[in-house]
Amino acid sequence: MTVPPVDARNLADAYVRGALAHPAAPFILHSAARPARGTLAEIHRRGLVAGENMRQLGVAAGEVVAVQLPSSIEWLVACVGIAHIGAVMLPIVSIYGAKELSFILPRSRARLLITPDVWRNVDSRSTLAESGPLPDLLGHLVVGEARGDAIPWSRLEQPAEPAAATPRDADDVAVLIYTSGTTAEPKGVQHSARSILAEFEQLTRSRRGLDEINLNPWPPGHVAGAWQMFRYLASGNPLIAMEAWEPGAAAALVERHRVSVCSFTPYTLMGLIDAAERDGRDLSSIKSCMVGAAPVPPTLIERCAAHGLQTFRCYGSSEHPTVTVGYPDDPLEKRLKTEGRPMLGIEMRFVDEDGHEMRDGEAGEIALRGPDRFIGYTDPALNARAFLPDGWFLTGDVGRLDEDGFLIISDRKKDIIIRGGENISSREVEDLLFSHPDIAEAAVVAAPDPRMSEIVCAFVIARPCATVTLESIAAHFAAAGVARQKTPERLMVVADLPRNATGKVLKQELRAIARERALERAI
């Protein structure tokens, strides 16, 4: 099914049009405990009723409703209801605890919080009680068993006659999503209906008429997962969602439903390929396999090719969800080493520390404008630092365009290691570590050093039955002809790397470990 671009003033409009155009579009939830199936028309009808009941609970247009549910029909129903009454949806990652909620809920001034009763053996009422004062919160709605002062989900499904949708402008805040905080405190990212619907139009064009059956392995508190759920409501593409990531189940779902479109982090894609090889699953139905959200080992793209997957990379963020994208028919070298080319309508500049444009081909901080760019942070101080004049958003990523217009990411500004005054790209070092025959995964950060100020510290996961040492890494880097100062001088072999809900490595935790170890050495 090829879906035309959505033309709508706001998300409520878009969801109405999606339900009218594709009423039978299926939503299939894979869940060990609560599998579910629904159609777009049914979900939309329930959402309109839920919105009226939210209005009766006291939620007004422009106010925030926080939804901390895993992928589920209830998540979609809440989404439709929130848009119907002109409120702002705040998706929250399901595994977040009291520390994160105590940061997000007061700053967003959320009026309702919707959660499961229990998620991964954690009671949501206890978590909320530990989150501190929340004077703006009208109530806590619970899917499952509601105890104490929690409001049961059934309250949103009580019979109610839906009134007309609350009018909202295309540029009003429609969705608020907090960054994962992998490098600093989470930031409140505000998107409008215009920016979200522009993203859908770009993605539809990028699929080049492909009949889409989508697999969504992302948690819907993350921008990639939330936007896939939004797009199902607006565009009616069949969607198979996973309540929780499990690679064996993902491979089975691809085979059973003949999934044609999917996207992954490198961590989840590795798991899918491992599971397919272990269980003998057929992945050949996948025609569009996008991987991003973290550095992508070239060896992973090559492994995918062995399964017939023409995997390609992409680049984006919560602030600007899809900036560049590759295509299955791009040359292998481009799919291995670049993030693809800018999407239609995306403007890109590369600037130095003072905001001056670099010469063609020179790396600089990536500055962006485009139709799916967010409208700003909730914190004005962050906006002052994040934007150049004329609306150019500073990403914090360093890169350049190659001679064919493909984006090459060099590093994140915060990940550059300054050793004795010389800049070293952690991304470059990681790519070399990925090619080491005994290393399965790697992440590189700066470690404090009394002589050089900073040195390269590598955290690695060894392949089964393999041994990794600084000496073997040094020999590997020397054979590659790499400058000696880029070779890791500190090594930590670990069983796993700290990750967020999508599998992205939490580098701030690695930096903290590197600092602690450096302090121990100094004592």
Can you give the CATH number for the domain in which 80 is found?
Answer: 3.40.50.12780
Domain boundary among 407, 422, 442: 407
Would you say residue 236 lies in a domain? no
State whether residue 350 is helix, strand or coil: strand
Would you say residue 91 lies in a domain? yes
Phi and psi angles of residue 498, each rounded to the nearest 5 degrees, phi first: -65, 135
- CA 273 to centroid of chain Cα atoms: 20
Would you say residue 137 lies in a domain? yes
Same domain? For 303 and 442 the reply is: no
Q: What is the pLDDT at residue 2? A: 36
Q: What is the pLDDT at residue 412? A: 74
Would you say residue 247 lies in a domain? no
- DSSP code string of 456-503: EEEEEEEPTT----HHHHHHHHHHTT--GGGS-SEEEE-S---B-TTS
Distances (CA, A) of 459 to 295, 433, 468: 15, 10, 11
Would you say residue 284 lies in a domain? yes
Same domain? For 174 and 38 the reply is: yes
Q: What is the pLDDT at residue 184? A: 57
Same domain? For 97 and 67 the reply is: yes
The answer to whether 169 and 10 have CB atoms below 8 angstroms apart is: yes
Same domain? For 142 and 30 the reply is: yes
Same domain? For 418 and 402 the reply is: no
Same domain? For 446 and 344 the reply is: no
Same domain? For 43 and 146 the reply is: yes
Same domain? For 23 and 80 the reply is: yes
Would you say residue 264 lies in a domain? yes
- DSSP code string of 222-284: SHHHHHHHHHHHHH---EEEESS--HHHHHHHHHHHT--EEEE-HHHHHHHHHHHHHHT---T
Note down pLDDT in tens along the chain; length 523 residues. Answer: 333 344 568 999 999 999 999 999 999 999 988 999 999 999 999 999 999 999 999 999 999 999 999 999 999 999 999 999 999 999 998 888 888 899 999 999 999 999 999 998 889 999 999 999 999 999 999 999 988 899 999 999 999 988 899 999 999 999 999 986 544 578 999 999 999 999 988 887 777 667 889 999 999 999 999 999 999 999 999 999 999 999 999 999 999 999 999 999 888 898 999 999 999 999 999 999 998 876 677 778 888 888 888 899 999 989 999 999 999 899 988 988 899 999 989 999 999 988 899 988 889 999 999 999 999 999 999 999 999 988 999 998 889 999 999 999 887 777 778 787 677 878 889 989 999 999 999 999 999 887 777 899 999 999 999 999 999 999 999 898 877 888 999 999 999 999 877 778 888 889 889 988 887 776 6
Q: Where are the alpha helices (DSSP H) in 109-155?
A: 124-129
Q: Report how far residue 287's alpha carbon sits from residue 206's, in angstroms, rounded to the nearest whole number.
A: 12
- DSSP code string of 15-36: HHHHHHH-TT-EEEEE-SS--E
Q: Report how far residue 5's alpha carbon sits from residue 137's, in angstroms, rounded to the nearest whole number.
A: 37
Q: Report how far residue 27's alpha carbon sits from residue 365's, in angstroms, rounded to the nearest whole number.
A: 40
Same domain? For 333 and 477 the reply is: no
Would you say residue 160 lies in a domain? yes
pTM of the entire structure? 0.83
Distances (CA, A) of 516 to 452, 519, 520: 17, 5, 6
Q: What residues make up the domain containing 489?
A: 414-522
Q: What is the pLDDT at residue 8? A: 63
Domain boundary among 369, 392, 407: 407
Same domain? For 65 and 128 the reply is: yes
CATH number of the structural domain spanning residue 439: 3.30.300.30
The domain total for the chain is 3
Q: Report how far residue 62's alpha carbon sits from residue 376's, in angstroms, rounded to the nearest whole number.
A: 16
Same domain? For 396 and 514 the reply is: no
Same domain? For 358 and 402 the reply is: yes
Would you say residue 505 lies in a domain? yes
Domain boundary among 376, 407, 438: 407
